Amino acid sequence: MLQLGEKIVIVSDAFEQNLPIGEYGYLIAYDRNPDNAFDYVIRIPKINRNFFVPADDVQPEELLIQHEVEMTTREALIDYALATYNEKLFHQVMNGELEQEEEEIAPEVLSQAEFIKQVNLRAWI
């Protein structure tokens, strides 16, 4: 549920009220009438009007900004993967696996004799 005074963006117009889609507004009241299909009363300062809207027609500004940042980051990663011919990164991004699952390779526990043997092999080479 949105907070009073929260900055919102109109994302759809379910009841075809000629809402200005994409415009910013502010939540000014809740519509508590259970017989009503509307959830909020919003004010859009640009056109100086109030509208009754259902919850699906509005989204908080922060949520839309966060979604836009994620999409921009994804597009940048795709561009980078294509520019560097990094097929693994490209498939990770395209399959939705943005968090790279880099497994930390634990160094094998070597006994003292094996360690000295490997040092001597490298020194000999």
Q: Does residue 22 lie in a domain region?
A: yes
pTM of the model: 0.61
Q: How far apart are CA 110 and CA 122, in angstroms?
A: 16
Domain extent, residue 76, equals: 63-94
pLDDT at 50: 94
> Is pLDDT above 60 for 105?
no
C-alpha separations of 25 from 31, 40, 68, 96 in Å: 16, 12, 19, 33
**Are residues 72 and 44 part of one domain?**
no
Q: Does residue 121 lie in a domain region?
A: no
**Are residues 54 and 88 part of one domain?**
no
Higher pLDDT, 107 or 123: 123
Model confidence band, residue 106 (pLDDT cutoffs 50, 70, 90):
low
Model pLDDT for residues 35-86, shown as the tens digit of each residue: 888 999 999 999 999 999 999 999 998 998 999 999 999 999 999 999 999 8
Q: Does residue 102 lie in a domain region?
A: no
**Are residues 13 and 54 part of one domain?**
yes
